[in-house]
Amino acid sequence: MILNLRVDHRLLHGQVALSWVGFLGANCILVANDDVVKSNLRKATMKMAKPNGVKLVMKNIDDSIEALNKGVTDKYKLFIVVENINDAYRLINGTNNKIQILNLGGTDKNDDSEELSAAVFVDDSDKKQLKELQNDGVDVTIQQVPSEAKKELSL
């Protein structure tokens, strides 16, 4: 069962590993990212941040889509973390909208981005993808930590 899909440019770190995993009751974290799987250093960092007793899986986006579609992850209480909005968009569309909740926790700021919260910045491409996801029925919220109130995305 997919509990949550979170965009966080830092991927797996203390806030995600402790706060979110505990809050959600997740027993498996899927880090879906094309670059992490190619980097032994980044994989080692993710493994060190993983809470005890929680399974950690790291796959590229295409392999993540395949695993989700085949039902390989159905036996887990799954928390999915991606690095950016485009990866979330690819994952949701690749699974035929099997994922209906998207939490924006932190995105990188660039020269063309607009600030939606203290940690979430979007550019025109991000806005277009987020609007499309919302139109497809995905519940998109901004929330850095579970103790913070959810803010519904309004573009």
Separation between Cα atoms, residue 37 and residue 30, nearest integer Å: 12
Q: Which of 104, 47, 100 is nearest to 81 (CA)?
A: 104
Helix (H, G, I), strand (E, B) or coil at 120: coil
Question: What domains lie within the chain, and their CATH numbers?
Answer: 2-152 (3.40.35.10)
**Residue 102, CA atoms < 13 Å, CB-side half-sphere:** 30
Whether 132 shows a pLDDT value over 80: the answer reads yes
Residue 58, classified by CB atoms within 10 Å of its CB into exposed (0-12), middle (13-18) or buried (19+), is: buried
Q: Residues 98-125: what's their mean pLDDT?
A: 95
- pLDDT attached to residue 97: 79
Whole-model pTM: value is 0.96
Confidence category of residue 5, pLDDT binned at 50, 70, 90: very high
